[in-house]
Structure 1
Amino acid sequence: MLELVFRRRFAMAHRLLSEASPKCAVPHGHTETVTVRLRATRPAPLDGAANMVEPFERAKGRWHRWIDDRVDHALQLSAADPLLGWFRAQEPHRLDRILVTPGDPTTELLCCLFAAKLGAFLAEDGGRLAVVALEIEETPTNTVGFAGDPLDWLPARAGWWRRADMSINDIVAPEAAAA
C-alpha cells in the first residue's frame, strides 16, 4: 500500500493547568515537528503514466499553509485558561493567534485535533486521501502518535478542528481567521 508522508516544523507555546504536569503550568515553548501519513481512499495500481497517488503539492499545500500561517508561533491554551480572559480584555487583536483546546493543550490532544483538521481539509478537497496516522515530536525524546478516528478520542466532538478553514479557535469568526 502506498502512503504519502510529509513533515512540518513549527514553534509553539502552551501551558498545562491540570496537576498532571505542574512544571508545565508556566507558559513555555517547544519547536515541534508534525508528521502525517496519508493513503488513497480508493487505492489503485500505478497507471503507467503519472504514477502517483496524488501530487504532493495538492496533498500537503493547504495543510502546510495552515501549519505555517496559523499554528506556527501560536499560543496554545485550554478553553478554561484564565489567560483567554486577559487577552480578550487587554489584547483582543491577538486572539486569532491563540489555539484554543478542550482541556489542556497536551501533545496527545493536539495529535487528535490536528488529525481531525487535516481530515476536514482532505474531505473538502474531494476525499481522495485519508489520514492514516499523525505524530507530533514535542522534543527530540518525546513523540506522540495517533491513528484512527480522532473524534472517538476527543473530549469535545465539535469545534474548529471539524472545519476545513484556517481557524485555530472558536473565539474569532472563521472568515476573520482566513485573513
Structure 2
Amino acid sequence: MPRTDLSPGERLYLREAVRGMGVLARHFWKNLFGFRDPAPEVMERKGRGVNLVSTINYPEERKEYPPGYRGMHRLVPRLDGKPRCVACYMCATACPAQCIYIEAGEYEEEAIEKYPVRFEIDELRCIVCGFCVEACPKDAIRMDTGTHAPAVLSRPLAVFDKESLLRGPAVEHSTDVLTYRVPLKTPPR
C-alpha cells in the first residue's frame, strides 16, 4: 500500500487540537454554569438542584449497590454452625487468579465426609469474577455481602480465613440430605 504524504496542517495536528480544545471548553462552561437536576430525589438532598455532573456527597450519603453486585466473599454456614463447604476444591480450581487456598480434613463419625480445615481467600489477588460462586456445587461460597474489600496497610490483612469468612445467615437446602452419609442432626429452631 503506497504511503501518502501529510500536508503541513496535518503534520502540525492543529485542526484536531483546536477541535479538542473546543470540546474541553464546552464541558468546562457547561459544568461551571451548567444545568441543574430538578429530580425530586436530588432536590431532597440539598433543597436546590445539584449540578448534573456532581456526585453524591460521599461520607454523608452512601450509594446503594446494584442487585447483581458481587461483593466480598463469605462462607455459608449450615444450621449447626459448621461451614457448608465440603472441601471439593472446585472453587479453587475455577479461580483464574488462584486466590483461594483450601486444606481438607475428614469428619469422624459425621454425616459429611470432608470439611475445610483451612480456607483462605486473598482479596488482593481476587478479580471479583464470581467463578468460585458458580463452580461451588454446595452453594457454600457467596459474594452477596454488599461490601467491597476494605483498604489495608499490609498484604496479610487482606487474606481472610475461614472464621472471618463464615458469617451471614445459615442455609439448608432440601437436596442436602442426598449427600449425607447419615441423617444430619440439626439443632431445634
TM (norm. structure 1) is 0.22
Point out the structure with the larger strand share.
Answer: 1
Larger radius of gyration, structure 1 or 2? 2
Point out the structure with the larger helix share.
Answer: 1
